[in-house]
Amino acid sequence: MDVAVLIVAAGRGTRAGGAPKQWRAVAGRPVLSHALAAFDGIASEVVVAIHPDDRALARAAAPGAVLVEGGASRDASVAAGLAAVTAPRVLIHDAARATVPRAVIERVVAALDHGPAAAPALKITDALWRGDDIVEGTQAREGLWRAQTPQGFHTDAIRAAHAAHPGGAADDVEVARAAGLTVRIVEGDERNIKITTAGDFARAEALLGGSGMDVRVGNGFDVHRFGPGDHAMLCGVAVPHDRGLQGHSDADVGLHVLADALYGAMAEGDIGRHFPPSDPRWKGEPSETFLRHAADLARAKGWRIGNLDVTLICERPKVGPHAEAMRAEVARIADVDVARVSVKATTTERLGFAGREEGIAAQATATVLR
């Protein structure tokens, strides 16, 4: 979809206590990470407005996003973010709304096909009172709504609206209406809470499944043929052999399948997606680059690596004498305890290409948890 998401994450969140709420962990990863994950597969462009002191935190929580420095107010942060948006439609979302259901986002996007602005909201159903310590009056609830985000707009329209607005708006719908834009209301969701106070973290934890463990499993499989050479790179170790493995990189089939298993566990495709073999930059590249990237990506997304298990399938070279060195290398590259790494080998009983010693196959399994 040709739509951007602009996450407003420059605030200090003092009412929640402690560190700014967008960087505090809920269900194993930062609040901002959860908010961004809701837009996976919907937004073609991600912009995050941040406080200048938070760049390192933002880079870890939002890899691949365009980071812009926000302003002293929400209006200023949104305006700074809009300046970096290139897509024709934009969804403006509060980082503190980490539990927004995907269906809410999809309703906002669909409504933008019929007008310049749309936002989710919930009808007020409770009785409304006015007063401080005592009830001083009542307020009719008919026609009243509780506003939520993301609020969606045609980008040029909301950019012009912010440029003309004097500031101090409660949200972007107020800015849009001041510029004369018609804002369509779509159905919100009670689960789309805004983390504001310390008690909201417990609610968000429950909504995001923090009471249980999210465990994912990925698999990898790869084959490399033998060619000229005097060693084979296997799981980061140069194993002496009368032939070498052939491939666009250094052809380390063990590290390739481990990287693919990690990418698979995260639903992040495979090595070819991140390091296309058509790109000459990766010709001859040490395969540890690929495994390290997969492991770093897992941590950036809030995952913890549970274990890495690889089986090398070949007649020769013999893996057993090198298995412990291979485990140590995999652990070093992935930055995990060696106790979480298994390297083993088997043969095909002289059957097939591996049995004829034409090449080596490998398969791997990886688990990630959060």
CB contact at 8 A, 155 and 2:
no
> Does 14 score more than 60 pLDDT?
no
Q: How far apart are CA 48 and CA 70, in angstroms?
A: 9
Average pLDDT over residues 282-303: 90
> Does 17 score more than 70 pLDDT?
no
Q: Half-sphere exposure of residue 241, counting CA atoms within 13 Å on the CB side?
A: 25
Q: Which domains, ranges and CATH numbers included, belong to the chain? A: 3-207 (3.90.550.10), 215-369 (3.30.1330.50)
pLDDT level of residue 42 (50, 70, 90 thresholds): very high
pLDDT at residue 169, rounded to an integer? 92
Mean pLDDT of the chain, nearest integer: 92
Average pLDDT over residues 274-288: 88
pLDDT at residue 18, rounded to an integer? 58
Helix axes 323-334, 253-265, angle to 10 degrees: 40
> Does 9 score more than 70 pLDDT?
yes
Q: Which of these, 364, 318, 369, lies nearest to 342 by C-alpha position?
A: 364
Residues 342-357 have pLDDT tens digits of 999 999 999 999 889 8
Residues 299-344 have pLDDT tens digits of 888 888 999 999 999 999 999 999 999 999 999 999 999 999 999 9
Percentage of residues in the chain with pLDDT exceeding 70? 96
Q: Six-digit token pair at 155? A: 């980008």
> Does 212 score more than 60 pLDDT?
no
Q: What secondary structure, in 3-state letters, does the chain show? A: CCEEEEEEECCCCHHHCCCCHHHCEECCEEHHHHHHHCCCCCCCEEEEEECHHHHHHHHHHCCCCEEEECCCCHHHHHHHHHCCCCCCEEEEEECCCCCCCHHHHHHHHHHCCCCCEEEEEEECCCCEEEECCCEEEEECCCCCEEECCCEEEEHHHHHHHHHHCCCCCCCHHHHHHHCCCCEEEEECCCCCCCCCCHHHHHHHHHHCCCCCCCEEEEEEEEEEEEECCCEEEECCEEEECCCEECCCCCCCHHHHHHHHHHHHHCCCCCHHHHCCCCCHHHCCCCCHHHHHHHHHHHHHCCCEEEEEEEEEECCCCCCHHHHHHHHHHHHHHHCCCHHHEEEEEECCCCCHHHHCCCEEEEEEEEEEEC
> Does 213 score more than 80 pLDDT?
no
pTM of structure = 0.58
CA of 172: how far to CAs of 108, 154, 181, 296, in Å? 14, 12, 11, 35
